[in-house]
Amino acid sequence: MTEQTARQKAGELTREQVADYLRANPDFFLDQDELLRSLTLPHDSGRAISLVERQVHLFREQRDTLRRELVELVSIARHNDRLFEKSKRLLMQVIEARSLNDIAAAVDDSIRGDFGLDAASVLLFSDSAQPEKGEGALHIVNSVQARERLGSLLEGDRAVCGQFRESEREFLFPDRDEPIASVALVPLRHEGLVGVFAVGSCEQGYFDQSMGSLFLSYISDTLSRLLPPMLDRYRTDAPVSGLAVESGQG
């Protein structure tokens, strides 16, 4: 015979039975004021406190926890609101752009100035002959070379964040005096893969897989629709000076 069975036969209640009864009857203490005052519980300070004091203490802890969570949620909401406004300003500039150069300048100025990042790069894929290399955030690259250099980074639809390999960072952000250490990249897709949009930081570990990337998706969705037809017009019109173009040489 176990100790618990012996207690039950002797008419004693187990701790579990008492707990089950109180859970099933939460109003048990409503008319038990004297009992409530006589019950004591150990406190972190070492002194005994009443059950009512213990409940008040727990309620205060829950209140403080909820307050901290609310402050954190408000902070996140404000941060997201600022990102949305910055993304909106950039998208308006991109929509109003008249040339590839205008888009390159808008993206570069916004990402480095408004967002406070170190670099922006838009790689637009094309297999036709390219004009002379220039400067800017927009680079026209050979699609075969891009697939060879970026590989699996082009396979998904969502943003990929991380440090990336050195060869990948150099391909995305060429001719930099201070190398990029951390990258967030999202493929540009519209009826197929048309390019990539990437932002970079010189701070190692700045971007990681847990970082939100909704603003990158907003920008990339717009770029993927505006850039291809603009590139087609660029090919048929007079060359625009200052456009950054990769020759496609490995």
With cut-offs at 50, 70 and 90, classify the pLDDT of residue 68.
very high
Range of the domain at 227: 99-245
Q: What is the mean pLDDT of the chain?
A: 77
DSSP 175-234: S-SS---EEEEEEEESSSEEEEEEEEESSTTSS-TTS--HHHHHHHHHHHHHHHHHHHHH
pLDDT for res 147: 86
Query: With contact defined as beta carbons under 8 Å apart, do 222 and 190 qualify?
Result: no
- Tell me the three state secondary structure of residue 15: helix
* Whether residues 52 and 40 fall in one domain: yes
Domain count across the chain: 2
With cut-offs at 50, 70 and 90, classify the pLDDT of residue 95.
confident
Residue 27 lies in a domain: yes
Task: Identify the domain boundary among 65, 96, 127.
Answer: 96
Compute the average pLDDT of residues 71-89.
86
* Whether residues 111 and 229 fall in one domain: yes
Compute the average pLDDT of residues 135-150.
81
d(Cα 120, Cα 134) in Å, to the nearest integer? Answer: 16
Q: Which token pair is 28?
A: 């048990």
Q: What is the Cβ-side half-sphere exposure of residue 27, based on CA atoms within 13 angstroms?
A: 0
Check pLDDT > 50 for residue 248.
no
Residue 36 lies in a domain: yes
pLDDT for res 250: 40
Residue 127 lies in a domain: yes
d(Cα 124, Cα 141) in Å, to the nearest integer? Answer: 6
- In the chain, the percentage of residues whose pLDDT exceeds 90 is 2
With cut-offs at 50, 70 and 90, classify the pLDDT of residue 225.
confident
Q: What is the pLDDT of residues 18-62, one digit of tens each?
A: 888 888 887 777 777 677 667 666 656 556 556 667 677 778 888
d(Cα 151, Cα 157) in Å, to the nearest integer? Answer: 14
Q: What is the pLDDT of residues 228-239, one digit of tens each?
A: 777 777 666 544
* Whether residues 103 and 180 fall in one domain: yes
Beta strands in the chain (DSSP E): 40-42, 48-50, 119-125, 138-141, 160-162, 182-189, 193-201, 244-245
Residue 9 lies in a domain: no
Q: What is the pLDDT of residues 4-14, one digit of tens each?
A: 554 555 467 88
Task: Identify the domain boundary among 76, 96, 116.
Answer: 96
74 vs 213: which has the higher pLDDT: 74
Check pLDDT > 60 for residue 89.
yes
Check pLDDT > 50 for residue 242.
no
The pTM assigned to this predicted structure is 0.65
* Whether residues 115 and 208 fall in one domain: yes
